[in-house]
C-alpha cells in the first residue's frame, strides 16, 4: 500500500492534519492502535483558541462547533476569597470557544468516514523505517497480518508514549522536562456549571478549576497529591474540598451530583528537539507536553498541524521544500512560548510543597499585579486566546 503522508495516531492532531490535507487533494492514511470508540472515550480539555477554530473551519468541520460551542469573552481568577475577571475579548478582540476535545475528534472522524478516507484501527507493532531517506515506510500488524505502508512523509501524532519520538536517534534528540509535585483530580458530572466562565482558583488548600462541557455537563478539578488514587475520593469528599477552595459566594451556588468520570492526571512540562528528522515530523504530545493550566495541550498540537499542513501543501503544490525545512524551527518557537505560559500560570495558582513564606507572598503579589495592571492582563489575554501562528 502507498500514500503520500502516513499519519501515526488517530487522535485530534492526526485527524485534523489528515482532513486539511484531504481538502487540498493530498492523500493520507491514518494508523490508530485503538478503536474509534476508545479514542472518543477519552475525557480531555475543551477550550479552543481562535487558531484551532480557524483550522477547523478550513478543514470544513466547524459547523457543529459553532452551533454547540460556548463562546467565552473572559475568564475568572479567584484568590483569598475574592474573584476578578480578565476580559480577554476586550483586550484582544478575540474570544475562546468551550467545546470538548472529544467533540472535535468526533467531528473529524465523521468527516473522514463520510469522505471514505482510509483509517486503519487496532494496529500494533508499528515501526518507522528509513525516515532519514527519500523512501520512508511504516510497517504494522493488524489482526495478526503484517502490512507495509510506503509514503513520502510520516507525521508522528501518536502521543508521548508513541513510537515516533523514539525513532529519532538519541544522538540527535534532546529532551527537556519538568515534573510537578502534584496532580489534578478531575470529576465530570451532569450538573449545570457553577459559573458561565471558567474559574481558576488559588487557595491555601491548593488549586481548583471550575469548567464545563455544556449547560448541563460540568468538569471540575482540584490539586491533589501524586500518591492519591481516584477511588480514595468519594464524591462527597471531592465536592466538600472543592467548596473549600472557592470564594464563598461561588461555593454557595455549586450544584453537586454523582460523578460520571473521575481521574487523576500528573502534571508535566516536556519538549523534545528537533521536531523533524528526515521525513519524519512530530506533532502534538509526541513532541511536547504542557500542564493543563490554561488548556494549551490540544491548541499547541493544532499549531503544529498548522505548520506541518502548510509545509506539505507548499511542497506538493509549489514544489517548494522551504516549509518542510523550517517546520521544526517554526513549531518550536511557538511551543516554548506556550510552555512558558503554562509553567507561569501553574506557578501562579498551585501550592508547592517547598514554598517558603516569602514564596507565598510573591505569589500573592503576582496575583494582585495581574488583577490591577492592564498591561499584565493584556499579556495574559494574548496568551490565553492563543499567540499568532
**66-113, pLDDT tens digit by residue?**
999 999 999 999 999 999 999 999 999 999 999 988 999 999 999 999
Classify domain 2-72+96-178+268-348 by CATH number. Answer: 3.50.50.60
One CATH from 3.30.460.10, 3.30.540.10, 3.30.9.10, 3.40.50.10800 for 180-266+351-385 = 3.30.9.10
**Which residue out of 180, 316, 327, 384 is catalytically annotated?**
384
CA distance 266 to 278: 32
296 in active site: yes
- For the chain, the domains span 2-72+96-178+268-348, 180-266+351-385
Give me the numbers of helices (H) and strands (E) for the chain, helices first please: 14, 20
Active site residue 352: no
- Look-up: residue for cell 518557537? 333
Q: How many CB atoms lie within 10 A of CB 237?
A: 10
For residue 237, the model assigns a pLDDT of: 98
Contact 64, 319 (CB under 8 A): no
Distance CA 262, CA 271 (A): 28
Beta-bridge partners for 174: 273
Backbone angles phi, psi at 312, to 5 degrees: -70, -40
Measured distance CA(304)–CA(374) in Å, rounded: 30
- How many angstroms separate the CA atoms of 67 and 54, rounded? 15
Rounded to an integer, what distance in angstroms lies between the CA atom of residue 129 and that of residue 138?
Answer: 6
- Cell numbers of 332, please? 518550536
Predicted pLDDT of residue 44: 66
Would you state the pLDDT for residue 224?
Answer: 98
Among the listed residues 296, 306, 316, 350, the single catalytic one is 296
How are beta strands 5-8 and 28-31 bridged, if at all?
parallel
d(CA 110, CA 102): 12
Q: According to the model, what pLDDT value does residue 43 have?
A: 61
One fold for both 2-72+96-178+268-348 and 180-266+351-385? no
User: Is 94 considered catalytic here?
Assistant: no
Q: Annotated catalytic, 388?
A: no
Catalytic entry in 12, 70, 72, 99: 72
SS3 of 70, please? strand
Q: Catalytic annotation on 292? A: yes
pTM of the predicted structure, to 2 decimals: 0.94
Identify the active-site residue in 292, 307, 309, 350: 292
Q: What's the rounded Cα separation, in Å, for the pair 305 and 286?
A: 12
Order of strands, sheet of 119-120, starting from the edge strand that comes earlier in the sequence: 119-120, 28-31, 5-8, 153-156, 280-282, 276-277
* pLDDT value, residue 45: 64
Burial degree of 216 (CB within 10 A; 0-12, 13-18, 19+): exposed
Q: Of the candidates 121, 7, 26, which has an alpha carbon nearest to the alpha carbon of residue 317?
A: 26
User: pLDDT under 50 in the chain at which residues?
Assistant: none
Catalytic position from the list 200, 220, 309, 327: 200
Looking at residue 289, its pLDDT comes to: 97
Amino acid at each position: 500500500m502507498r500514500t503520500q503522508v502516513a499519519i501515526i495516531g488517530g487522535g485530534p492532531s492526526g485527524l485534523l492534519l489528515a482532513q486539511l490535507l484531504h481538502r487540498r487533494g493530498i492523500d493520507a492514511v491514518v494508523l490508530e492502535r485503538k478503536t474509534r470508540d476508545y479514542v472518543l472515550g477519552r475525557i480531555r480539555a475543551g477550550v479552543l483558541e481562535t487558531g484551532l477554530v480557524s483550522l477547523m473551519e478550513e478543514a470544513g468541520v466547524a459547523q457543529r462547533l459553532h452551533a454547540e460551542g460556548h463562546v467565552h469573552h473572559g475568564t475568572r481568577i479567584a484568590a483569598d476569597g475574592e474573584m476578578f475577571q480578565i476580559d480577554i475579548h476586550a483586550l484582544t478582540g478575540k474570544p475562546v470557544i468551550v467545546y470538548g476535545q472529544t467533540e472535535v475528534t468526533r467531528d473529524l472522524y465523521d468527516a473522514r468516514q463520510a469522505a471514505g478516507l482510509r483509517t486503519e484501527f487496532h494496529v500494533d507493532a508499528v515501526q518507522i523505517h528509513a525516515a532519514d531517506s527519500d523512501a520512508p515506510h511504516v510497517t504494522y500488524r493488524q489482526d495478526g497480518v503484517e502490512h507495509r505502508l510506503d509514503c513520502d512523509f510520516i507525521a508522528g501524532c501518536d502521543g508521548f508514549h508513541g513510537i515516533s519520538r523514539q525513532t529519532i536517534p538519541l544522538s540527535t534528540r534532546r529532551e527537556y522536562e519538568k515534573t510537578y509535585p502534584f496532580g489534578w483530580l478531575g470529576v465530570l458530572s451532569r450538573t449545570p456549571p457553577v459559573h458561565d466562565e471558567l474559574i481558576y482558583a488559588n487557595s491555601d488548600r491548593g488549586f481548583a478549576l471550575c469548567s464545563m462541557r455544556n449547560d448541563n455537563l460540568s468538569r471540575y478539578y482540584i490539586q491533589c497529591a501524586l500518591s492519591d488514587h481516584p477511588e480514595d475520593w468519594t464524591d462527597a469528599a471531592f465536592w466538600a474540598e472543592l467548596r473549600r477552595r472557592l470564594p464563598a459566594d461561588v461555593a454557595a451556588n455549586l450544584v453537586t451530583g454523582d460523578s460520571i468520570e473521575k481521574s487523576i492526571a500528573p502534571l508535566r512540562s516536556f519538549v523534545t528537539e528537533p521536531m523533524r528528522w528526515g521525513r519524519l515530523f512530530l506533532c502534538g504530545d509526541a513532541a511536547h507536553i504542557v500542564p493543563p493550566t490554561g488548556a494549551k495541550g490540544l491548541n499547541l498540537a493544532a499549531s503544529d498541524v498548522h505548520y506541518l499542513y502548510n509545509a506539505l501543501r507548499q511542497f506538493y503544490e509549489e514544489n517548494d521544500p522551504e516549509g518542510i525545512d523550517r517546520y521544526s524551527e517554526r513549531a518550536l518557537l511557538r511551543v516554548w512560548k506556550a510552555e512558558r505560559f503554562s509553567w507561569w500560570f501553574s506557578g501562579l495558582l498551585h501550592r508547592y510543597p517547598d514554598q517558603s513564606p516569602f514564596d507565598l507572598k510573591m505569589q500573592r503579589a503576582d496575583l494582585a499585579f495581574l488583577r490591577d495592571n492592564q498591561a499584565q492582563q493584556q499579556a495574559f489575554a494574548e496568551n490565553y486566546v492563543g499567540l499568532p501562528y
